[in-house]
Amino acid sequence: MKCPFCGFEEDKVLESRETEEGKVIRRRRECQDCEGRFTSYERIEEAPLMVIKREGTREQFDINKVLKGVTRACEKRPVSSAAIQNLVEEIEKIVRREGKREIPAAWIGDLVMERLQKIDQIAYVRYASVYRNFSDVTQFLKEIRNLSSKNSDRN
């Protein structure tokens, strides 16, 4: 690695540490020429994860979009921000663990709905209405009936 002070290309690693849950290695280095000390970081190069939208377009996966959608669905509901954050983190782990470079948006939406249904049913219906693009009240009623029948099956 090239010294940032003198440009010499040989150094000695003094210390290595894992940071960010083992995703990054921090190395303290010393230049063999000028003895200047500096820090370098080593990260795994991740290929961008692409989401395939309904209409066939692709965009880079953005966990903040998932967070925004879940937060909006949970507005004015008794759902803690910690529960929302946990749900979003779980979705991100599942999506990344899948190991694919392209993932359908529908699959991500289904994961979110599956988890939201367990947390808050009103938030679930709100999310479903946007995700499934409900166009009239009958679609809302159908979703609520499905939810009600699932609840009565559990009891």
The residue range of the domain holding 139 is: 50-154
| Strand-strand pairing, 58-60 and 50-52 | antiparallel
**Could you tell me if 108 and 66 lie in one domain?**
yes
The answer to whether 131 touches 111, Cβ cutoff 8 Å, is: no
72 has a pLDDT exceeding 90? yes
Residue 124 lies in a domain: yes
pTM of the model: 0.64
Angle, helices 105-119/121-131, rounded to nearest 10 degrees: 160
Tally of domains in the chain: 2
Q: pLDDT tens-digit profile of 84-138?
A: 999 999 999 999 888 889 999 999 999 999 999 999 989 988 888 887 777 777 8
Q: What is the pLDDT of residue 131?
A: 76
**Of 47, 23, 64, whose CA–CA distance to 99 is shortest?**
47
- Same structural domain, 20 and 64: no
Q: Are residues 80 and 100 in the same domain?
A: yes
Q: Are residues 27 and 100 in the same domain?
A: no
SS3 call for 15: strand
Does residue 140 or residue 102 have the better pLDDT? 102
Compute the mean pLDDT over every residue in the chain, rounded to the nearest whole number.
89
pLDDT in tens, 10-61: 999 999 998 867 888 999 999 999 999 999 999 877 778 999 998 999 999 9
Q: Is the pLDDT of residue 155 over 60?
A: no
In a domain, 2, yes or no: no
pLDDT of residue 154: 60
Q: Is 26 exposed, middle or buried (0-12, 13-18, 19+ CB in 10 A)?
A: middle
pLDDT band at 151 (very low <50, low <70, confident <90, very high): low
Q: How many CB atoms lie within 10 A of CB 114?
A: 11
Instruction: Judge if 73 and 93 occupy the same domain.
Output: yes
Q: Is residue 6 part of a domain?
A: no
Residue 33 is assigned to a structural domain of this protein: yes
